Amino acid sequence: MASSKNNTIKLKFDSARKYAPAPESRSSAKINARYDLFINGKFEKPVSKKYFGTISPSSEEKLSEVADANAADVDKAVKAARQAYDRYWKKLSGAERGKYIYRIARMIQERARELAIIESLNGGKPIRESRDFDVPTAANHFFYYAGWADKLEYAFPNRQAQPLGVAGQIIPWNFPLLMAAWKIAPALATGNTVVLKPAETTPLTALKLAEIIQEADIPPGVVNIITGAGATGAALVNHPGIDKIAFTGSTQVGKIIQNAIAGTSKKATLELGGKAANIIFDDAPLDQAVEGVINGIFFNQGHVCCAGSRLYVQESVFKQVVQKLKDRLETMIVGDPLDKNTDIGAINSKEQLNTINKYIKIGIKEGAEMYQSSAELPHKGFWCRPTLFTNVAQSNRIAQEEIFGPVLAIQSFRTDDEVIEKANNSPYGLSSGVWTDKGSKIFNLTTKLRSGVVWANTFNKFDPTSPFGGYKESGYGREGGLHGLNAYVKLI
Ligand code: ADP
């Protein structure tokens, strides 16, 4: 029996390996050798005179170099945004703002292929994801919020929604274009102007978005996009001309930002880390649940704040589910992000790979049992085999701390109350998932799980109309839907 199972795995694995390479051509992705800062509608050389290289994490090849904005550059960008706000944008009708935002959405669609290729090259994620998820969802966010721009009186009945002013927006490297869309679209729809800073490892699609914004004739200064690392982000947060900070990133930096703006009139939304629990009951459709768990943790190499990195399986189906997961892991193809067959791409940076490897060692040292797929890894670039741990204790660091990689910690449970307690026993509270055939169980859990999102019989589903955000150390404020508009207005 065991050997026939092994044969099945091997067959599946071999057939996966036999796919002929199907790489997406890079020819339609135009990447300049160097990018300046996008300020006041133009690409301007940085006052700092400094640039830094940006690479492809799958090959370590240098793709381009981008400006390293210092405090003087941040000041220029914030002043441009303020001027555009005062002189033009806040006075424009909602219908006119909407037209501009629709234009951005359409141009993202027109250039979808190029954006997807660059996203995969610069970030390491599989082209299937950037092509089928990141880029279309980014366009959808612009379409969705364009629709609200002239309907704010319906969004906030009997109230008048006024923009906040200039928004400083800082985003991470896991969904570079999509996070830019999440931030820019609702800000513009409500009449704010923005200065956006992408993460230092993934600046290229944000700079492509800057080109789109320029081509779309968005009035100069309404959107400014500046590149740099943590110091640039800190200069933006601390600039007195900023009215609102929208941040997505680590809990550690979120706390620094919260301290920095304490006592100022700056408003903030912080979308921080997570340690999502996926819960499989014994009455769940197990194959679907296993697919959902695989999608939940291995999607985008686990570089997802809402990744389902903890799995709780009801005791009676525990062995079965773990075996199904192991079998499925063996079929997953790790490799070239531009290959359409690839399931798991490159880890975003060497630092992140070091962090993931550190946690894998911690898991083993804590006594958990590790299982990794036998996928061959490319020689260059940053890679991690999909990994799962069993024999995990609730207090283990791999069950408590955010790893941000393709590493799943699995535990068993017996009763509903027990799993609710275990799932909530986390400093985070961004998302969770429940797999069961019973609607009553879903309702019981959704009301008791302390997380901003609870997915039922699915995972990692996103839609511009749905709010997203966390509890506890996962931050505060919501993005998406009507709630996302609320974060950019004062109501009078
Ligand atoms: P991650 O761990 O996901 O890389 P970080 O929180 O370090 O997340 O980074 C998210 C974003 O925050 C990036 O754009 C980064 O440059 C920026 N950042 C890092 N440090 C600071 C800081 N002290 N103030 C403002 N932004 C920062």
What confidence score (pLDDT) does residue 368 get?
97
Nearest CA to ligand 1 atom 13: 199
Ligand 1 center to 409 CA (angstroms): 26
Structural domain spans, the chain: 31-272+474-491, 277-463
Ligand 1 center to 408 CA (angstroms): 24
Lowest-confidence segment of 73-82, 171-180, 310-319, 462-471 by average pLDDT:
462-471
Mean pLDDT score across all residues of the chain: 94
Nearest CA to ligand 1 atom 20: 230
Given the residues 114, 119, 200, 305, the one annotated as active site: 305
| pLDDT one-digit tens code per residue, 1-44 | 334 444 444 444 444 556 788 888 888 899 999 999 999 999 99
Nearest CA to ligand 1 atom 4: 172
Q: Is 305 considered catalytic here?
A: yes
Ligand 1 center to 466 CA (angstroms): 25
What confidence score (pLDDT) does residue 6 get?
47
Torsion angle, alpha carbons of 168, 80, 186, 36, to 10:
-80
Lowest-confidence segment of 299-313, 359-373, 391-405 by average pLDDT:
299-313
* Contact of 103 with 111, CB cutoff 8 Å: no
**Which residue blocks in 262-308 are alpha helix, DSSP H?**
286-298
How far is the C-alpha of 114 from the C-alpha of 97, rounded, in Å?
26
475 - beta bridge partners? 271
| pLDDT one-digit tens code per residue, 233-292 | 999 999 999 999 999 999 999 999 999 999 999 999 999 989 999 999 999 999 999 999
- Atom of ligand 1 at shortest range from CA of 254: 6
How far is the C-alpha of 261 from the C-alpha of 237, rounded, in Å?
7
| pLDDT one-digit tens code per residue, 402-431 | 999 999 999 999 999 999 999 999 989 899
User: What mean pLDDT comes out for the span 132-146?
Assistant: 98
Joined together, the tokens standing for residue 130 give 């950037």
- Atom of ligand 1 at shortest range from CA of 229: 16
What confidence score (pLDDT) does residue 18 get?
65
What confidence score (pLDDT) does residue 19 get?
79
Name all contacts of 370-379 with Cβ < 8 Å and 24+ positions apart.
Answer: 371/326, 371/329, 372/329, 373/329, 373/330, 373/332, 373/334, 374/13, 374/330, 375/330, 375/332, 375/333, 375/334, 375/335, 375/344, 376/334, 377/334, 377/335, 378/58, 378/335, 378/336
Ligand 1 center to 249 CA (angstroms): 6
* Pocket around ligand 1 at a 6 A CB cut-off: 170-173, 197, 199-200, 229-230, 233-234, 237, 249-250, 253, 256-257
User: What mean pLDDT comes out for the span 152-166?
Assistant: 96
Ligand 1 center to 315 CA (angstroms): 40
Torsion angle, alpha carbons of 322, 327, 331, 336, to 10:
40
**Which residue blocks in 299-438 are alpha helix, DSSP H?**
318-330, 350-365, 397-400, 416-424
C-alpha pair distances (Å), 6 with each of 60, 99, 290, 318, 327: 36, 58, 19, 19, 9
- Atom of ligand 1 at shortest range from CA of 197: 14
How far is the C-alpha of 146 from the C-alpha of 17, rounded, in Å?
44
Hunting for tokens 């309404």 — which residue is that? 222
Q: Which of 177, 253, 350 has most ligand 1 atoms within 8 Å of its beta carbon, as the pocket-test mutant?
A: 253
Phi, psi of 489, rounded to the nearest 5 degrees: -135, 155
pLDDT at 149 over 90: yes
Q: Which of 149, 136, 214 is nearest to 177 (CA)?
A: 136
Ligand 1 center to 152 CA (angstroms): 32
What confidence score (pLDDT) does residue 20 get?
84
- Atom of ligand 1 at shortest range from CA of 256: 23
What confidence score (pLDDT) does residue 470 get?
87
Sort 158 into a burial class: Cβ within 10 Å, 0-12 / 13-18 / 19+.
Answer: exposed
Phi, psi of 189, rounded to the nearest 5 degrees: -60, -30
How far is the C-alpha of 385 from the C-alpha of 407, rounded, in Å?
9
Q: Which of 66, 170, 303 has most ligand 1 atoms within 8 Å of its beta carbon, as the pocket-test mutant?
A: 170
Nearest CA to ligand 1 atom 27: 230
Strand 244-248 and strand 166-170: the pairing is parallel
Nearest CA to ligand 1 atom 18: 230
Hunting for tokens 């390996």 — which residue is that? 17
Nearest CA to ligand 1 atom 21: 230
Q: Is 366 considered catalytic here?
A: no
Joined together, the tokens standing for residue 12 give 């599946």
pLDDT at 215 over 80: yes
Q: Which of 19, 8, 67, 15 is nearest to 43 (CA)?
A: 67
pLDDT at 306 over 90: no
Strand 369-372 and strand 387-390: the pairing is antiparallel
* Contact of 373 with 330, CB cutoff 8 Å: yes
Ligand 1 center to 11 CA (angstroms): 43
CATH topology for 277-463 is Aldehyde Dehydrogenase; Chain A, domain 2 (3.40.309)
Q: Which of 38, 46, 45 is nearest to 211 (CA)?
A: 38
Exposure letters 253-278 (e unless 16+ CB within 10 A, then b): bbebbbeebeeeebbbbbbbbbbbbb
User: What mean pLDDT comes out for the span 333-345?
Assistant: 95
Given the residues 271, 402, 473, 479, the one annotated as active site: 271
User: What mean pLDDT comes out for the span 295-314?
Assistant: 91
Nearest CA to ligand 1 atom 19: 230
How far is the C-alpha of 87 from the C-alpha of 81, rounded, in Å?
10
CATH topology for 31-272+474-491 is Aldehyde Dehydrogenase; Chain A, domain 1 (3.40.605)
